[in-house]
Structure 1
Amino acid sequence: MDPFVLIGRLVLATFLGGILGVEREARSQSAGLRTHTLVALGSCCFTLSSIYTEWMLQPGVSPGGSQADISRIASQIVVGIGFLGAGVILREGGAVKGLTTAANLWVTAAVGLACGLGMYLAAGVTVGLALLSLVVLRPVARALTPMTGRHGRHNDEDGDPANGEDPRPK
């Protein structure tokens, strides 16, 4: 693989992962800019490594008829990112927090994988749609979800939150 293509894919994955991380960082989430850039970069590197392995083990080149299946590394990225995502999910009383950040990390891994495969359009569109979901849909979700019982919090009798604060995410 051309070194400039390889470097370009790694840089693009890092940049696009960073775009998703900036949104989480701005919301002071536990997995922010650096975590997202590293997830995308690592996913891209694993993907490039699996592509290189398949190329090295192609018929006529590989020793003893060895074979590689690039989908195996990709599937392990999907499974492995679940472990990292689980680390940002917290339970506070009756509320569960961090699900959106965990899902965003999962999408970030997909962006890195797509960059590694050279699927630049898919990676860019995925980042755009993810940002749409994270930023534009936030007020829609707030409008659709009633305040009572939001995220496991209890309101007092007159409908105001028990602690006097709006429990909805900002």
Structure 2
Amino acid sequence: MDSNALDEILRLMVAAGAGVVIGINREMHGKPLGMRTLALVAVGSAIAAMTAIDFRGLGDHPDALSRVVQGVLQGVLTGIGFIGAGVVLRDPKSSTIQGLTTAASVWVTAALGIACALAAWHLVIAGLVLTLIILFGLGWLESKIFPDT
């Protein structure tokens, strides 16, 4: 196995790990999407992005590569919205909406998967840390500020 293949496997493993870590928070709060689902979202996004950027001959054509990467980003992040929409519930009687944080977690996880595919490690680390601070830290703060919600 060449070093390029090992690098790609590492990218997929980091994407899966990011999804698992975010999924732990969702599992802890009894949400419908957890570790396995978010790991799959991240890995799937990474595979889609890596397949596009590694397509034969595109590296020699920067304009074509740019258009392909843009298309993959747009397609993956739009498509992921449909998964996120599946966890959003609206209760017209109480005028409440639930599941938006979980839906946003799906979207962020897909973006992290793409960042892993592009080996944008600084964005992966910063994005994952910020996501965990938002999910764990702000969740705790929110419960202190708004205890009745």
**TM-score w.r.t. length of structure 1:** 0.77
Give the SS at the match of 1:88. Answer: coil
Q: How far is the alpha carbon of 1:56 from its aligned partner?
A: 2.0
CA offset at residue 146 of structure 1? 6.3
Give the alignment partner of residue 18 of structure 1, picking from 20, 25, 33.
Answer: 20
- How much has 1:58 moved relative to structure 2? 4.4
Is 1:80 the counterpart of 2:87? The answer is no
Which residue matches 2:134?
A: 133
SS of residue paired to 2:41: helix
Q: CA deviation at 1:77?
A: 1.1
What are the within-5 Å matches in structure 2 for residues 79-118 of structure 1? 79-92=78-91, 93-94=93-94, 95-118=96-119
Structure number with bigger Rg:
1
Separation of aligned partners in 2, 1:23 and 1:67: 39
CA positional deviation for 1:57: 2.9
Structure 1: runs of 5 or more not aligned: 148-167
Give the SS at the match of 2:33. coil
**Separation in 2 of the partners of 1:27 and 1:146?**
16
Equivalent residue of 2:31, what SS?
A: coil
* Cα 1:43/1:129, change in 2 over 3 Å: same
**Cα drift, residue 71 of structure 1:** 1.2
**1:16·1:124 contact (CA, 8 Å) conserved in 2?**
no
Q: Does 1:67 align with 2:69?
A: no
**Equivalent position SS for 1:96:** strand
1:34 CA displacement: 0.9
Count of aligned residue pairs for this structure pair:
142
1:140–1:72 Cα change, 3 Å = same
Distance of 1:7 and 1:146 partners within structure 2: 44
CA distance in 1: counterparts of 2:106 and 2:59, whole angstroms: 33
Output the CA distance in 2 between the equivalents of 1:88 and 1:118: 30
Offset at residue 127 of structure 1 (A) = 1.0
Contact 1:41 1:112 (8 Å CA) reproduced: yes
**Greater relative contact order: 1 or 2 (C-alpha under 8 angstroms, separation 6 or more)?**
2
Aligned match of 2:124: 123
Provide Cα deviations, 1:107-162, integer angstroms capped at 9, x if missing partner.
10110000000011211211111110111111221233363xxxxxxxxxxxxxxx
Q: CA RMSD in A?
A: 1.9
Taking every aligned residue pair, what percent have the same amino acid on both sides? 34
Q: Report the residue type matching 1:51 in the other structure.
A: I
Q: State how 1:27-66 maps to structure 2 within 5 Å.
A: 27-53=29-55, 56-59=57-60
TM-score, length basis structure 2: 0.87
